[in-house]
Every structure is written in C-alpha cells, then in structure tokens.
A and B are shown apart, each in its own frame.
Chain A
Amino acid sequence: MNRQAARILPVILLVAAILAAWEVYARASGIRPQVLPAPSRVVTEGWAFRGLIWSNTLPTLGETAAGFSLAVLAGSAAAVAIDFSQGVRRALYPVLVASQAIPIVAVAPLLVLWFGFGIVPKALVVALVTFFPITVGWVDGFAATERAASNLLRSMGANRWQVFRLVRVPGALPSFFSGLRIAITYAVVGAIFAEYVGAKRGLGIFMQLQQNSFRTDLVMAAVAVTAAISVALFLATYAIERLAIPWHEAARAGRGAPR
C-alpha cells in the first residue's frame, strides 16, 4: 500500500499545485467567473447541480459503452480478416487508414442527418474514432508471432485455424490491450463531440447549453466529470488486462519470456 501511495503522490502534488495557482490567480486578479471561475467555485456549483450533471452523464456513458463495444467487435473482426487474407489486407487496410483522416467535424453532422438524434450517430462517432488502434494492436500482435512457433504447431498437425487460436491470438493479446488503452482515451471525447452536434441530453449538449448561458463554472464541472470518466476507463483496461492475461505481467516482471 505504501508503494502504491508513493506512485500516485507525484501526480496528486502536480494537480494540487496547478489548482492552487489557478485558485490564487482567480481570486487575486478579480477576473469575472464567466471568464475564468476559481476551482472552488467549479466544485461548489458542480455539486449544487450534481443531479443535472449526473442525468446528463448517463447518456454519455451509454453512448461510450455502445460505441466502444462496436469498435472492439468491428476492429477485432477487421483484424482477423486482415490476418487471414492477403487480399483483404490489401483492400481493407488502406481504407481503414484513410477513414482516420476523415474530419469528425465534417462527418458527425452527416451522421446525425442520417440516423437522427438518438444513440446511433453517437455510437458510430465513438466507434469511428476508437476502432483503429484496436485493429492495429491486433494486426501488429498477429504479425509478431514467431514463424518457428507456427512451424512447431504445424509439425504437430495443426491446421491454420488451430495455429491462429493457439498461438496468434494469445500472443497478440498484450498488443491488443495496448491498442485498447489508446482507443479508450478517445472514446468519451468522441461521444461528447457527437452530442455537440445534436442531442437531447448528454454531457456534450450540457456543456453547450451552459456555455451559451455563460455558466463557465458548470462547463468546467462537466469537463472534470469527463476527465474522471476517461481516467477511470483507462485504469479499467489495466485491471481487465491483469485478469485476462495474468501471465503477461508476471513474465515481464520475471525473466521476460519470449512471446
């Protein structure tokens, strides 16, 4: 427990220092809270409106979960298809890369136009911004499989599917989790961005409304909630990784077994 505390102490100190400086500046300069509210004001106002913020957080969480699940499924399926077929790789990989160059600003309004104001366009935006690191994580992980390991299994009589299931997938899991971690940090932001374009409820539309009524403190409270969710999801990937591939951490800490 002491080592845990020592590990998170630096970040606590840093954040506390930034908040303290901000608090001092906001109070001393007499700057208007519509322009820059002090952190203490963000906290007290945020707490006062906690019911409203919470009711706007739930839809955002729902969209994030739906979109991210879709990204994991579609991203993994694409990676498997790419791994099994050279033709699919040549056809699909460039398209996936190009899809990452699509400005979300341009495509999000179109998605709302096509799919309405419900959860679908939000989930699609989240999936669009998060599937790519997942696919790349898998594909790179598959490619890192040692040829000798595949040969060993083939010598035992394994077919292609068995080689895939017994070596390529478990060997690629650490790389997949790296991709998953990158992806999850974009997920909540993606949902909020999609809400900005058009939504009935959600942190995105909440921020926009508060912005329009000059409640900068509530905008910032919503930002704080967003950040907290992102950090929580990021940490959750570590917890899931530990449960899913306990051998990985141990092998790394130990002798460093070959993958």
Chain B
Amino acid sequence: MTPRLQVTGIAKRFVDGDRTVEVMREIAIEAHAGEFVSVIGPSGCGKSTLFNIIAGLEDADAGEVRVDGALVTGHREAFAYMPQQDLLFPWRRVLDNTTLGLEIRGVPRAEARARASALFERFGLEGFERAYPYMLSGGMRQRAALLRTVVQERPILLLDEPFGALDALTRMEMQEWLAGVSAEFGWTVLLVTHDVREAVLLSDRIVVLTPRPATVAATIEVPLPRPRRLDLLADRAFVEGETAVLRALRAGSPGGATGTMSADGVDGAAAGGRR
C-alpha cells in the first residue's frame, strides 16, 4: 500500500560565506494514512528545517517528498502546518484566527466560520469564538492554533513542537487531549518534538535523528494501541519504548542503536538509508 507520506533522501546544506554546513542527509520518513509519526532529535539538529522542507517553505538540496505516491516536493497544498509559536493574531478574534487558512484559500466567510465553529466544542474553545487571543490561557491558545491547522482539511498535519512553550502540567493535559482527538479524527500527523515521553505517548512510529548533520539514527515502532492515556506512563511497554528512544538518541551516530528493545515488539531498526 502506498504510504500517505513518503520522505526520502532529504539533504540540506547551508552556505555561510566560504564555509558549507551540512544540516542533514539521507532523511527518510514514512507515514501511512491515520498514523501518528514523531521526529525526535537533539536541539539544533535541524528538525524545524526538515519540517519547512516537507511543508514546501524551504528547498532541499536533495531528496523528495511524496504524498499518496505523487511527487509534491516544494508544494504546500498537502500540508497543514502548525509552527512552534501559536501565532494567533492579536487583531483577530479567535474564530477569525481559526478561519485564516480557509480565508486565504477563498472559502466564503460564512462557510469558513461554520466549518471552524463546528470544531470549537471538541477543542474546548466553546464560548470563546468572539474572544481575542490575549483572553485565552496557554493551552487554549495552542488548541486554537491546532484548530486553525486542522480546519484546512489537508491530508497531513505537520506539528512543530506545539507544546514546547507550555508549563509541564498543561503540556501533559494537552498531550493526552491530542492523543484522543487525533485518533478520533484519524489524522495523519507528523510531529516534531524533543520530549521523549510525548513522542512515545502519541506516536505509532518515532524517527530518531542524530546531531548535526542529522541522519536517521533509528525508527522505533510503538505498538501500543492508540489513543493512549497518561496512566500508561508506568506501563512496561511504555517505559521500554522510552528507553529505546533514549538509547537511540544517546547513541548519537547512525546505526548505533539498532534493534535494541525488540523483546516486547518495540522494534528499533536502523533506517538511515531505508527506501
């Protein structure tokens, strides 16, 4: 079966004067429809650059992005992108912030509003349609930003460290909520994070990157049923998943953490050159 998203052989270099910095090479990621895939790596390894490349906002030096088998490298239509900051515009009411993507695409205002309003309850934002963003709490702002992303109804969601700026407690609540809502709607999600627990809690598969130049150190499957709840944190399989990811991160070099925690089906596989 053709994967919903197939990223292969992505490479990126930055030229800084007469110095060339290699940011990443041979990045490969795969996600089937309805799957939740996380990309985890040390800070500064180029995760956000990778996301910008997939989203078509930056050019790669090599590699391709395919959606349902079609080559879409450099195209933006297939992706709904949620950046690190919520970027809710202070001059727009919450509802008008969430319809932004539809408005840009030329969807009539009434229809855009109706489509966004329909999601407000599930996103815990009911009654705040006409509020301004500054009136919302941190968690609500992130949910509004996610609503703005998903209402575009694009095949793949790209979430770039969406909960990075939240306090620990709110972050956990948001993770559990996202686990539930993404499974409920059957979204295909690619999430960038540096939070191991977040990755294991949410993902079907975790792509672990090495430090710069980033390559895929390991691709780890998390076979626990989704949606997962926070009370799973002490579960043995969960802890083993976390350990596998941590080891792959620590190993640091490609192939350094292959096939470690396979006892309970937590499968680590060197995937640097996987096609």
Contact = CB atoms under 8 A, between A and B. Distances in A.
Interface of A: 146, 148-149, 151-158, 162, 166-167, 170-171, 173, 245, 247-248, 250-251, 254-259
B81 A148 contact: no
B222 interface: no
Given A151-B57, A153-B104, A157-B104, A254 B91 contact: no
B132 A157 contact: no
Contacts of A171: 89, 91
Q: Is the interface of A mostly helix, strand, loop or mixed?
A: helix
B133 A157 contact: no
B104 A158 contact: yes
B150 to A, nearest CB: 13
A257 B137 CA distance: 11
B164 to A, nearest CB: 13
Contact of A148 (B84, B135, B152): B84
Top 10 nearest A-B pairs by Cβ distance? Answer: A155-B81, A257-B90, A254-B134, A156-B101, A257-B134, A251-B134, A251-B90, A170-B91, A158-B104, A247-B91
B17 to A, nearest CB: 21
| Chain B facing A: main interface SS | loop
Contacts of B134: 247, 250-251, 254-257
B151 to A, nearest CB: 11
A127 B85 CA distance: 40
A171 B90 CA distance: 9
B7 interface: no
Contacts of B105: 156-157
B87 to A, nearest CB: 5
Given A251-B134, A259-B90, 8 more contacts: A151-B57, A156-B76, A156-B100, A156-B105, A157-B77, A171-B89, A251-B132, A257-B132
Contacts of A258: 85, 87, 90
Contact of B87 (A149, A158, A251): A149
Interface string B121-138: 000000000001111000
Interface in B12-69: 52, 55-57
Contacts of B84: 148
Contact of B132 (A146, A155, A250): A250
A237 to B, nearest CB: 18
Contacts of A248: 90-91
Nearest to B160: A148
Interface in B87-111: 87-91, 100-101, 103-105
B144 to A, nearest CB: 12
